A = this chain, B = another copy of it.
Amino acid sequence: MTQSPDTPPLTASKAWQQLARHAEGHRDIDLNGLFRQDPDRAGRYTLETDRLSIDFSRQKVTPETLTLLYQLAEQQRVGQCIHELLSGVKINTTEDRAALHTALRSDNGSLIVDNINVMDGVRAGLSRMAEIVTALHEGRLRGWTGKKFRTVINIGIGGSDLGPRLAAMALHSYCRDDIDVHFVANIDYQDLHASLGSADPETTLFIVASKSFTTLETLTNARSARQWLAEHQCMEPARHFIAVTTNQAAALEFGVDPGNILEFSDWVGGRYSLWSTIGLPVAIAIGMDKFDELLHGARTMDEHIATAPLQENIPATLALIDVWNANFLGAETLAVIPYDHALSLLPDYLSQLLMESNGKNVTRQGQPVDYDTGLIVWGAAGTNGQHAFFQLLHQGTRNIPVEFLVAVNPNVDNADHHEKLVANCIAQGEALMTGKPDNSAEPHRNFPGNRQSTTIMFDRLTPAVLGELLALYEHRTFVQACIWDINAFDQWGVELGKVLAGTIMQEFESGRASGDHDAATYRLIERYLKYRN
C-alpha cells in the first residue's frame, strides 16, 4: 500500500490527532486505578493462541485508547498492508522487491510473483536442505580424510547469524549430541579463532552464509577458515564448505562445489531469513522434522495475522501499543526480558529485527518523518537482569515499557529452579506496576510503581512455540512500519559506513591517511598507523 502524495502527514491525520488529545489527559494515568475500576481487565486484555498467552493489561491503555489505536490502524490501512505482505506485492519499494518470508513457511501450493510460482523455489530449497541434513546426519557427507563431520561452523553476520544462532540456542534441548554447531560473525579474528580452537579440521564443515557473497566479515572469515584447512594439509577444501547465497557465481569462485551451494531468493530479507536455507545450521542441529515444526509454528501466526479481526489481532495490537508508548507516552526504548536462559539472545535478535527494520526517517513516499519511529530494543535474560539494571526500571526516572517472556514448564527439568524463575518473572511485573509507598520516612525505599509491562507466557519452548513467537515479532514490526508509513524491509543506513571503511582500509594498506576526512577521523587513522605493530 502506498498513500497518494497529497495525503496529509501522519501527525496531522484525524486518528493521530485524536490520540494526541487523548494522551494529554492520560500521561499520569494510574494503572492500579484501572485495575480497581475494571475487575475483568486482566482477562479482557489478554490475547491467546493455542500456544501463546499475551497479557498486556499492565499497559497504560483504556478502552478508549484502544478504540483510538484501532482507528489509527484502520486509517493507516493495516489490513491492506498485511494483505499486500502476504500476497507478494513489492512493498519493499526502494529495492523493488516483495518481502516474502511468510512464503518460506507457507503450505500453499502456489504464490505467483512476476509470473513465477515462488513456492516452487521454497519447496526446492527445503528439499535441498533436507538432503544435506540427512546426508550429514547419516554420515554420507564426510571430510577429506573420510571422517564424519562432528562440528559445523556457520560463518555469517547480521541476518545470516542472529536468527539461526538464536534458534539453535533456544532449542538446545532439541539438539543432536553427535554434532556441535558454532556461529562465527565478527570480523574480529578472536571470534573465528575461538571456534577453530576446539575444532578438528578433518571433521569440521563450514557454512558460509551471505546473501550477496560479498559481505566483508563473512568473506574474510571464510578465507581464514580455508587457510586454516590448508595449514592442516586439507587436500579437498571444497568438501568442507557449503554456501548459502543468492550469488552462485561468487560462491563457485570461492571454491565451493556446485552441489554444495544452497540458493535463496532476493525477496528474503536478511533479518527475516531464518526460515530459508539460512536456517541450515538450525536444521542440522535439531533435525529437519523439528525445523519443520519451527516453520509450522510461524505459519500459525501468519494465519492469525491474516484472519484475526484487528481487536483480536495480536501482532497488530502489540504494534499499536508500541506506537502508543513511543509516540504518545514518550518511551524511547523497549526492554525485553526473557525469563528463559535459552532465550538470552532474544534481546539482540529483536534489536536487529525491530531497529534495522524501523530505524527510518523517511516515509514510503520519501518524505521526512516528523515523529519518532523505531524504539531502541535492549534487555537481558531474567533473573540476571534483576541483579544488573532493574534498579533503574524500579526507581529510575525513565519511562521504559518492559516485555517479559516465560515458559510454564522447563525444557531442562528442575522444578525447584523453574518455580523460582517463574515466581520472579511474575513478581517483577507486579512490583513495577503496584510499587510500594514509603512508610518508613526513608524516601530511598519508595517504589513509585505505575510502570507498564507485557507478559508473554507459553507452555514450553518448543520449536513450534519459538516459530510462532518470532513470527509474532516479525508481524508486529511490520504493523509498526505500516502505522509509521515507512519501509520495514530496506536498510540503506548501513551503506555509508561500508564505503568509508573501504576507503580507510586502503589508507591502512598504503600507510597514510588521505586527508579527505574530518580532523577526528584523520587523527584516529594516524594514531593507528603510528602505533600498529
Q: Give A contacts to B, CB under 8 Å.
A: 32, 35, 39, 41-43, 46, 53, 55, 57-58, 94, 157-159, 161-162, 172, 185-194, 215-217, 220-221, 224, 270, 332-333, 339-342, 348, 351-352, 355-356, 358-362, 366-369, 371-374, 376-378, 380-384, 386-398, 400, 408-414, 416-424, 426-431, 433-436, 442-448, 455, 457, 459, 487, 490-498, 500-501, 503-505, 508-509, 517-525, 527-528, 531-533
Contact = CB atoms under 8 A, between A and B. Distances in A.
B366 A396 contact: no
Residue among A368, A420, A487 with most chain B CB within 10 A: A420
A447 B376 contact: no
B424 A398 contact: no
A410 B496 contact: no
Contacts of A500: 427, 430-431
A269 to B, nearest CB: 12
B426 A521 contact: yes
Contact of A388 (B158, B216, B333, B436): B158
A489 to B, nearest CB: 11
A443 B368 contact: yes
A444 B487 contact: yes
Contacts of A383: 157, 186-188, 217
Contacts of A372: 397-398
B504 A427 contact: yes
Contacts of A527: 53, 408, 457
Given A187-B421, A188-B418, A359-B395, 6 more contacts: A220-B420, A360-B396, A372-B398, A408-B528, A424-B497, A426-B524
Contacts of A41: 519-520
A158 B391 CA distance: 12
Given A43-B523, A430-B518, A523-B42, A528 B186 contact: no
A426 B528 contact: yes
Contacts of A523: 42-43, 46, 55
